[in-house]
Amino acid sequence: MTPRTVEDALIRCERVTKSYRKGENTITPLEELDLEVPRGDFLALMGPSGSGKTTLLNLIAGIDRPSGGRLFVGGTDIATLSRGRLADWRSEHVGYVFQLYNLVPVLTAYENVELPLLLRTMTGDERHRRVRTALELVGIADRHDHFPRQLSGGQEQRVAIARAIVADPTILVADEPTGDLDRESAAAIMDLLCRLNAELGKTLIVVTHDASCAQHAKRTLTLEKGRLIGSPAGVQA
């Protein structure tokens, strides 16, 4: 096994640190972290609660900013972007899958998936084509007119994944995407993520506490007290 080169890395963290104040104390979820994620990777991040997993995911997704270091995605140092440019970048490049789905309860499955496209300039026909394609990819097209309350947990997560991929993002990140599901539904969701990686070439980063879910990934890295341990950060397993 050989380390990936800088040119191969879609995501590159260079001594990334994240700190914030809590009362009189300084909390540092991440400390001088180095990481490279090649295009088309499927990376699982594991570690105990409070180890910095979600913090790292949010930095990569452009939801939060590092306190120090540099974070490149596709050659862009996203930490240097203005708030407006970062929002535009995020809508174009990142799809986010949440543990608790975050669907809008008064909207149908179709309307929930359509939401990210309403920020884009495109025709109604193009929006419709993309939404239908995304729903078909996750196997939920026959429930397009159902509201979240009419769906099972596994079906809700499929809608959430369809919403995350409908804009064809560069990166798909997922924070405990199976944490609220039974074992069978969790396995089906992980199989779906594997298909998105293998068939569509999506670069996936998944935070999970579940070793059986992490086994679906191409490689697993462990965070502990804000630092990566175990496998070298830039090596493909």
**What is the tens place of the pLDDT at every residue in 37-78?**
999 999 999 998 888 999 999 999 999 999 999 999 998 999
> What is the average per-residue pLDDT within 181-210?
94
> What is the average per-residue pLDDT within 98-113?
95
The Cα–Cα gap between 209 and 176 comes to: 7
Query: What percentage of the chain has pLDDT greater than the value 90?
Result: 77
Tell me what pLDDT residue 231 has: 52
Tell me what pLDDT residue 79 has: 87
Between the alpha carbon of residue 136 and those of residues 5, 75, 152, 155, the distances in Å are 36, 32, 17, 12
Q: Are 41 and 204 in contact (CB under 8 A)?
A: yes
Confidence grade of residue 8 (pLDDT, cut at 50, 70, 90): low
> What is the average per-residue pLDDT within 193-198?
95
Tell me what pLDDT residue 226 has: 87
The Cα–Cα gap between 168 and 158 comes to: 16
The CATH homologous superfamily of the domain defined by 6-229: P-loop containing nucleotide triphosphate hydrolases (3.40.50.300)
pLDDT above 70: residue 233: no
**Burial state string for 201-236 with b = 16 or more CB within 10 A and e = fewer than 16:** ebbbbbbbebeebbebbbebbbbeebbbeeeebbeb
> Closest by alpha carbon to 218, among 232, 205, 199?
205
- Name the range with the highest mean pLDDT among 25-34, 135-144, 226-235: 135-144
Q: How many Å is the Cα radius of gyration of the chain?
A: 18
pLDDT above 90: residue 120: no
> What is the average per-residue pLDDT within 137-156?
96
Q: Are 99 and 86 in contact (CB under 8 A)?
A: no
pLDDT above 50: residue 237: no
pLDDT above 70: residue 4: no
